[in-house]
Amino acid sequence: MRLVLPEIERRMALDFPDKLREWQMKVELAKAKEEKWKTEVREAEKKKAAPPQPPQSLDIGPEAQRPRLRQHDVTIERVAMLLATSAPKGLLIVRNELAGWIEG
């Protein structure tokens, strides 16, 4: 498993840079729309007109995460976040101490 999992993760991550750029583009688009709306509100305020409606929020979603199959010494909160974003099919957790996992 020590030799196989890194190769599988590498293959899974081939499209990760594209997904990350797409997410970053969505974030920048949302910022641009908000800035445009703020400018329109300022202009409407100067003209004593009704301010425009705020833009509909884009579904940006969480930041793209590199796909993972294994994680070392991780907290339960981090496991939940990884399962939700980068490892929806499961995650192999390597813990040095079983007591640390149970108490964590």
Q: What is the pLDDT of residues 59-83, one digit of tens each?
A: 788 788 888 888 777 778 888 888 8
pLDDT tens-digit series, residues 18-45 = 989 999 999 999 999 999 999 999 999 9
Tell me, yes or no, whether 16 and 35 share the same domain. Answer: yes
34/5 same-domain check: yes
Judgement on whether residues 53 and 74 belong to the same structural domain of the protein: no
Residues 80 and 33 in one domain: no
Long-range contacts at 10-17 (CB < 8 A, ≥ 24 apart): 12/67, 12/69, 13/66, 13/67, 16/64, 16/66, 16/67
List, in order, residues 6 or more apart from 45 with CB less than 8 Å away: 51
Query: Residues 52, 73: one domain?
Result: no
Count up the domains in the chain and report the number.
2
Residue 37 sits in which domain range?
Answer: 1-59
pTM: 0.66
Pair (46, 96) in one structural domain: no
For residue 71, the surrounding DSSP H or E stretch is strand 70-72
- Single out the residue in 23, 39, 59 at which a domain terminates: 59
